[in-house]
Amino acid sequence: MTSHASRTTDGRKRLYDSVVDTIGNTPCIRVNRIAPKHVRLYVKAEFFNPAGSVKDRLAISIIEEAERRGDLKPGQTVVEATSGNTGIGLAMVCAAKGYPLVVTMADSFSIERRRMMRFLGAKVVLTPRAAKGLGMYRKAQELAEANGWFYARQFETPANAKIHENTTARELLADFNGERLDYWVTGYGTGGTITGVGRVLRKERPNTKIILSEPSIAQLLGSGVAQERGADHSPAGSHSAFTPHPIQGWTPDFIPYVLQESVDKHYYDELIPIAGPDAIAWSRRLALEEGIFTGISGGASLAAAVQVAERAPEGSVLCCMLPDTGERYLSTPLFEGVATEMTPEEEALSRSTPGYQMAAAA
Ligand code: PMP
């Protein structure tokens, strides 16, 4: 980290034909100050994607796979149910490629998400939070059927895990080539990340332990209760172990079909429940002590990674996923207690020199 030369950069040595070509190749960054000293802990920072989250990968995959199959016609409307990041990713991809987009989203997800999607040209149809994830899911299905729109189906489509197999996993293999990788840690929303990366790591890095985490108050996998599903693999109803949790983007009220492969094929070695307040606390520490700005699910993954790190053998190397940027949570409990006006300490600083004082007048 220390160098006597001044910092320089030399460009990417290529030009990009479209914003969608900038998706992926996110960096793995070492966590220096808050990780236990006997391990090396890295975070894979998905907020480096152009629309700020891991779901940009899924968005381009869904659209390009559908174009390839001929299921998505030029100018056809795309519809999807999403907790936000998929909608923002799809809005970016649809704007770049000229498809109208309609998103259905429960009104419990953050305001920034809605406004970002609308800023990128999408229509956002809100569903009542009481109807949970399944409510927005069924609304998208209804709208697709009523209008002949292309339904993206992130919870079932093979395009989801496939992109993580072809990109996220390949990046991990390349970046940890010749290095230890003892643990890889993630949560799940659709399960695309764990299933796609699981397929590859199980084959290519069989010694890497895969750690999956879920909210402590929504332990759908931990409960061992199977998900009922319809013929189209869609959930038949809400899972009995679900209660609403603050880790946006994690664990909907059903076990998605995309995630089921990870369960059936044992892609994870351990399941760790994480409490919402711990997720928030670790996201804050990551920002304050490392300068790395991620959302609540990133804090949750880090909480799980630190738990594993604490009991890991000397010299272990861990990598955990940070799915999105903290900027998506300004209106949520993540920012609770972060002042808008000057704090007493800041007021004192303001008064400590004679010029340009705000509070002096009052
Ligand atoms: N965290 C956040 C903030 C997300 O939006 C998502 C995607 N829903 C995830 C984690 C989980 O990713 P995946 O859907 O690939 O399981």
pLDDT tens string 69-95: 999 999 999 999 997 899 999 999 999
Q: 37 C-alpha vs ligand 1 centroid, how far in Å?
A: 29
Residue 361 has pLDDT above 90, yes or no: no
Q: How confident is the model at residue 359 (pLDDT cuts 50, 70, 90)?
A: low
Distance of CA 219 to the CA centre of its chain: 18
Distance (angstroms) between ligand 1 centre and the Cα of 123 equals: 21
Distance (angstroms) between ligand 1 centre and the Cα of 188 equals 6
Given ligand 1 and candidates 43, 44, 47, 55, which is best to mutate, with the most ligand atoms within 8 Å of its CB? Answer: 55
Which are the contacts of 301, defined by CB distance < 8 A and separation ≥ 6? 185, 186, 187, 213, 320, 321, 322, 323
pLDDT, mean over the chain: 95
Summary count for the chain: helices (H), strands (E) = 11, 10
Length of the chain: 362
What is the residue with the minimal CA distance to atom 4 of ligand 1? 249
Q: Find the catalytic residue in 213, 262, 283, 297.
A: 297
pLDDT at 108 over 80: yes
Q: Whose CA is nearest to atom 6 of ligand 1?
A: 249
Task: Please check whether residue 56 is in contact with residue 22, taking contact to mean a CB–CB distance below 8 angstroms.
Answer: no
Distance from Cα 190 to the centre of ligand 1, integer Å: 7
Rounded mean pLDDT of 328-349?
Answer: 94
297 given a catalytic annotation: yes
Say what percent of the chain tops pLDDT 70: 98
Q: Which atom of ligand 1 sits closest to the CA of residue 55? A: 7
* Model confidence at 100: pLDDT above 60: yes
Instruction: Supply the CATH classification number for the domain 55-151.
Output: 3.40.50.1100
Centroid of ligand 1 to alpha carbon of 38 (angstroms): 29
Common-topology check for domains 19-48+164-335 and 55-151: yes
Tell me: pLDDT of 276 over 80: yes
CATH of 19-48+164-335, one of 3.60.21.10, 1.10.10.10, 3.40.50.1100, 2.40.50.140: 3.40.50.1100
Nearest CA to ligand 1 atom 1: 249
Active site residue 123: no
Ligand 1 pocket, Cβ-based, cut-off 6 angstroms: 53-55, 83, 85, 187-193, 248-250, 295, 297, 323-324
Rounded to two decimals, the pTM is 0.95
* Rounded Cα gap, residues 53 and 66, in angstroms: 21
Could you tell me the CA-to-CA distances from 303 to 36, 198, 212 in Å, in that order?
12, 20, 12
Burial 127-138 (b: 16+ CB within 10 A, else e): beeebbbbbbbb
- Work out the average pLDDT over 343-354: 93
pLDDT band with cut points at 50, 70 and 90 for residue 133? confident
User: In the chain, what are the domain boundaries?
Assistant: 19-48+164-335, 55-151
Distance between CA atoms of residues 288 and 93, nearest Å: 32
pLDDT digits (tens, 9 = 90+) for 9-52: 999 999 999 999 999 999 999 999 999 999 999 999 999 999 99
User: Active site residue: 55, 132, 139, 209, which one?
Assistant: 55
Residue 183 neighbours by CB under 8 Å, 6+ apart: 208, 209, 210, 211, 305, 308, 309, 312, 316, 317, 318, 319
Q: How confident is the model at residue 1 (pLDDT cuts 50, 70, 90)?
A: low
Rounded to whole angstroms, the maximal C-alpha distance in the chain is: 73
